[in-house]
Amino acid sequence: MTALLQVTDLKTHFFTRDGVAKAVDGVSLRLDKGEILGLVGESGSGKSVTGFSLLGLVDPPGRVVSGEIAFAGIDLVKGGEKAMRGLRGKRIAMIFQDPMMTLNPVLRVDTQMIETVQAHEKVSRATARERARQALVQVGISAPDERLESYPHQFSGGMRQRVAIAIALLHKPDLIIADEPTTALDVTIQAQILAEVQKLCAETGTALIWITHDLAVVSGLADRLAVMYAGRIVEEGPTAEIIANPIHPYTRGLIASVPHGKPHGSMLEQIKGMTPSLLNLPRGCTFAPRCPRADAACAQEPALEEKAPGRLARCVHPHGPAQMEASLS
């Protein structure tokens, strides 16, 4: 089956005065129709830049230097801004952490939503308004007629994010890229929005890339996880399998630092050390200086390899089921 999205060896670098920051350095991803991928990693690992690259939204001093982004068979890197402009907002939509990246503070919600519909489709204002109304209902906003006549500042943070999600859904996109959209919201609202987005994607067959530093958020949402570290994917596979049995020591560290499901007051583990500066990456495995398993073999840069069926990891000392059991007992 042809993938909806096939990213191959994508490199997006920032050419700064202090040197070249390889924010995305050889990322490959595949996403099928309706699939949900969680892109996780600590701050600065290159998750957002990956998302922005897929939408052609990387600004100088950054640029996509090489690789291929095939969306529904269209090469977006070769096609450049022209190919992207026809898809962005229509077949590929983005939801940002700050809904005000989507919303215009000085326009009423109906004006913005109607304009969004009419930007890609020749429909009457009344039809566009009805579509906007339905989209608000879909994301759980009650009294949609009244809400349409409001300005963004008249909404709570959670409601504003729902409106931004409704805008992303207006054209029933094939793919939504969501960059930490619930991070600023309290946990109850987060859970509600996650459940709604999951339901909407299932209903419409929309694929989703959910970018987050919080493994707990995506563990119940994503079909597959891709874990990023210093611009690269270090582990990829089905969510349930990764959570139950992480292969890469970094993923294992991320899981150990999640409070979810652990008794109140229990100690959480921290991954030692700091994320490295992209301008000064260690040679070989970039995680080695923080890794409890590192030894001389890690001086060689590991490749992303299949360690078990459907399970990829970039590590020469991967955890396996046997070691997992031994270390947990």
Residue 21 or 55 having the CB closest to ligand ATP: 21
Are 235 and 248 within 8 A, CB to CB? yes
Contacts of 326 by beta carbon, 8 Å cutoff, 6+ apart: none
**Residue 41 binds ligand ATP (CB under 6 A):** yes
Instruction: Closer to ligand ATP by CB, 46 or 144: give it.
Output: 46
11 with 24: CB under 8 angstroms? yes
* Interactions with ligand ATP, residue window 209-268 (CB under 6 A): 213
45 binds ligand ATP (CB under 6 A): yes
Q: Contact region for ligand ATP (CB under 6 A) — 29-37, 41-49, 115-123, 142-150?
A: 41-49
Q: CB of 29: closest distance to ligand ATP in angstroms?
A: 14
Q: Which stretch binds ligand ATP (CB under 6 A): 3-11, 16-24, 198-206, 316-324?
A: 16-24
Q: Interacting stretch for ligand ATP, rule CB under 6 A, among 44-52, 189-197, 252-260, 310-318?
A: 44-52
Asked whether the beta carbons of 114 and 125 are under 8 A apart, the reply is yes
User: Residues binding ligand ATP: what is the number (CB under 6 A)?
Assistant: 16
Contacting residue, 10, 37, 49, 291, with ligand ATP by CB under 6 A: 49
- Report yes or no: 39 and 51 within 8 Å, Cβ to Cβ: yes
Q: What is the DSSP code string of 211-275? A: EES-HHHHHTT-SEEEEEETTEEEEEEEHHHHHHS--SHHHHHHHHT--TTSPTTPPPP--SS-P
- Identified binder of ligand ATP from the candidate list 7, 10, 242, 278, rule CB under 6 A: 278
- 67 makes contact with ligand ATP (CB under 6 A): no
H helical segments located in 107-207: 109-120, 125-138, 144-148, 157-169, 187-204
Displacement of CA 202 from its chain's centroid (Å): 17
Q: Which residues lie near ligand ATP (CB under 6 A)?
A: 14, 16, 21, 23, 41, 43-49, 61-62, 213, 278
